[in-house]
């Protein structure tokens, strides 16, 4: 579960970077969905590195969506 959570977090982080470009805000919604899945998997593990990665990526994605108005 820990490995899966870290893997999901790294994939979401890689997808988040192009989503920071204007007009690619829709990609942040996909990143958020992946982060929620990673947070669920990471919450069942003893080591919380996957949970931490997913929460950090989710916070940045939420801030980007907030600044961009939610869609753009």
Give the count of domains, the chain.
1
- Here the tokens at position 5 are 């959570």
The confidence score (pLDDT) of residue 71 equals 61
What distance lies between CA 11 and its chain's CA centroid? Answer: 8
**pLDDT score at 24:** 80
Mean pLDDT (10-residue bins), the chain, 72 residues: 94 92 85 95 92 95 86 56
Q: What's the distance, CA 7 to chain centroid?
A: 11
- The pLDDT of residue 30 is 92
- Residue 38: its pLDDT value, please? 95
72: tokens are 């753009």
Range of the domain at 53: 2-16+23-68
Structure tokens at 33: 């969905």
Q: What is the pLDDT of residue 69?
A: 79
């Amino acid at each position: 579960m820990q490995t899966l959570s870290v893997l999901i977090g790294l994939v979401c982080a890689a997808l988040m970077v192009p989503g920071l470009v204007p007009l690619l805000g829709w990609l942040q919604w996909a990143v958020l969905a992946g982060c929620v899945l990673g947070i669920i998997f990471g919450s069942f593990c003893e080591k919380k590195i996957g949970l931490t990665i997913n929460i950090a990526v989710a916070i940045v994605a939420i801030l980007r969506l907030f600044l961009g108005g939610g869609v753009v």
